[in-house]
Amino acid sequence: MSKLSRRQLVIAGVVTAAGAGGLALAAKIAGRYGLVPPDSGGIYGPGETLTYAAQRLLTRHSLAREFSRSQISRKPLMNEVAPLGADFQRLQKEGFADWRLNVDGMVARPASFSVAELKSFPRSSHITMIQCEEGWSYIAEWTGVPLSHVLQLAGASPQATHVVYRSIQPDWWESMDMADALHPQTLLAHEMNGGELPVGFGGPLRMRVTRQLGYKSLKYLTSLTITNNIKQFGKGLGSSEPEAGYSWYAGI
């Protein structure tokens, strides 16, 4: 190969500058259209952003696979959970009559729903798979009130970008973007396989996000906060998962 000529160096410089400029422009556009995940800082940022942006563009309205009744796992796996604490046990002893789901943030009508109220709302069911990040999976029937219905009842603002949801377990919280929040399969589940949602599987109330790994389907839901500034929660990475080293977006 001959020595680099000045012309080749200039061309290389122009191409690099154009490439860098193009990337910066793409990043700016991606940010405006909500294609950048909150945990996009750091050395794994490029991969996370590419994944989240690609999935958001490809799968906005897609439905997770729904299975037939005969495909329901006979022995679904109850993942281990840290001990649930005195508050939970007190509520459990009273049959969760005093369990409340608080809804606040960018809503016209903040609310606090009991489990009985949530059960009285329109209900939706689907037979879908839970896939854990460890690699195992099971299929179950989930019944609950669509999150979109609850957001509508509370008068969620059209400017909202994320829904933050919390568990009774301290330091365990999650969030999803509006594409998932308004998705028809996203449920506040209170029943599993036709019966009460067992405590081991998140009872009395768990979120069901069907197009992401199981850890987004948070157990023991106690509150929802509708927001347009996800960065103000916790360490600004979107959920407690990136704070523990895991991806905020778990659709892969």
Partner 1 sequence: MNPALQGAQYRLQKGSAERTTRAVEETTQPRHSLLVRVTHWLTAMAFLALLVTGLELVVSHPRFYWGETGNVNTKPLFKIPIPSSRHLVPTGYGYLLPDQNGWSRYLHFQSAWLLVLTGFVYVGVGLSRGHFRRELFPARPDLSAKRLMRSVAEHLRFERPGAEEAWSYNVLQRLAYLLIIFVGFPLIIWTGLAMSPSFVSAFPAAVNVLGGQQSARTVHFFLTGALVLFLLVHIFMIFLAGFWSRVRAMVTGRAASR
- Per-residue x/- mask for partner 1, residues 25 to 54, rule CB under 8 A? -------------------x-xxx-xx---
Nearest to 71 by CA among 22, 162, 138: 138
> Smallest distance from the beta carbon of 91 to partner 1, in angstroms?
26
**Residue recorded with tokens 């329901």:** 72
> Smallest distance from the beta carbon of 156 to partner 1, in angstroms?
23
How far CA 193 is from CA of 72, 108, 189, 248, in Å, comes to 8, 34, 11, 28
**By CB under 8 A, which span of 132-140, 164-172, 194-202, 226-234 interacts with partner 1?**
132-140
Strand ranges in the chain using DSSP code E only, listed in sequence order: 100-105, 111-114, 124-131, 137-146, 162-167, 173-177, 187-192, 195-196, 206-208, 221-227
Q: Residue type at 127?
A: I
**Residue recorded with tokens 């990475």:** 237
> Smallest distance from the beta carbon of 90 to partner 1, in angstroms?
27
Nearest to 162 by CA among 232, 109, 59: 232
In the bound state with partner 1, the residue whose beta carbon lies nearer, of 212 and 225, is 212
Q: Does 127 bind partner 1 (CB under 8 A)?
A: no
**Residue recorded with tokens 């389907």:** 217
Q: Residue type at 50?
A: L
> Smallest distance from the beta carbon of 247 to partner 1, in angstroms?
6
Q: Pick the binder of partner 1 from 9, 136, 194, 231 (CB under 8 A).
A: 136
Positions in 186-225 near partner 1 (CB under 8 A)? 210-213
Binding site for partner 1 (CB under 8 A): 1, 3, 44, 46-48, 50-51, 55, 58-59, 62-65, 67, 71, 73, 75-77, 79-80, 129, 131-139, 210-213, 244-247, 250-252
